[in-house]
């Protein structure tokens, strides 16, 4: 991921532009498919660079993440389980896959909301929710609520209390990728 740092730093050179928060949201959307974009780190470092725009950044990233998840869910809904098994061979035979189905059956959208609050990847939860025929508006609401709260918290810390960031679980790698931590 060190290879990303120069690109991220160059990208953040435009943080003062009006189009920067929506573009950060687009990166968040793409992260649902590319899986290498350090959204949390970009959000935090951007909030540190332009503290007055922390709320716009948090909203943009939450919306981007939600729309990306909905596109993924719609693709899974349209293509079905065989598409997932083709993309990830052997996943259907793992214990984690079976466990994930049991957890989703037990907790439904609440587990999607909880995962959206954490640094964990949301794609598996989105895929399971889609395979369970969860209505897209309900899925969107659960994801947006969790992601918005998460990104609101991270952007606020980045703009108002950056000294606490290094202590947060699951963020150190992304903060290193974006140059916030050494």
> In the chain, where does DSSP find H-type helix?
5-12, 20-34, 39-49, 54-79, 81-87, 95-107, 109-117, 123-131, 136-160, 172-177
Please list, in sequence order, all residues whose beta carbon lies within 8 angstroms of the beta carbon of residue 149, skipping any fewer than 6 positions away: 117
Give tens-digit pLDDT for 54-97.
Answer: 999 999 999 999 999 999 999 999 998 888 888 777 777 777 67
Q: Which of 18-22, 97-101, 147-151 has the lowest mean pLDDT?
A: 97-101
Mean pLDDT of the chain: 84
21 burial via Cβ count (<10 Å: 0-12, 13-18, 19+):
buried
Instruction: Name the token pair of 8.
Output: 């991220």
Q: What is the pTM of this model?
A: 0.83
Q: What is the mean pLDDT of residues 9-29?
A: 87
Higher pLDDT, 90 or 153: 153
Give tens-digit pLDDT for 85-96.
Answer: 887 777 777 776
Residue identified by tokens 């687009």 is 26
What residue segments make up the domains of the chain, in order of their start? 5-12+22-177
Distance separating alpha carbons of residues 157 and 165, to the nearest angstrom = 7
**pLDDT for the residue numbered 163:** 73
Distance separating alpha carbons of residues 108 and 129, to the nearest angstrom = 7
């Amino acid at each position: 991921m060190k290879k990303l740092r120069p690109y991220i730093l160059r990208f953040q050179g435009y943080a003062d532009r009006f189009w920067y928060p929506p573009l950060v949201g687009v990166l968040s959307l793409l992260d649902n498919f590319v899986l290498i974009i350090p959204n949390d780190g970009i959000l935090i470092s951007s909030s540190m660079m332009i503290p007055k725009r922390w709320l716009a950044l948090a909203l943009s990233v939450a919306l981007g993440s939600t729309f990306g998840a909905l596109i993924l869910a719609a693709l899974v809904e349209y293509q079905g389980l065989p598409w997932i098994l083709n993309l990830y061979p052997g996943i259907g035979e793992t214990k984690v896959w079976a466990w994930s189905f049991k957890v989703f059956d037990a907790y439904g959208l609440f587990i999607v909301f909880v995962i959206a609050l954490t640094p964990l990847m949301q794609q598996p939860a989105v895929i399971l929710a889609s395979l369970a025929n969860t209505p897209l508006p309900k899925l969107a609401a659960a994801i947006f609520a969790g992601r918005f709260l998460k990104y609101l918290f991270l952007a606020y810390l980045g703009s108002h209390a950056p000294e606490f960031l290094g202590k947060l679980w699951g963020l150190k790698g992304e903060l290193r990728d974006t140059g916030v931590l050494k």
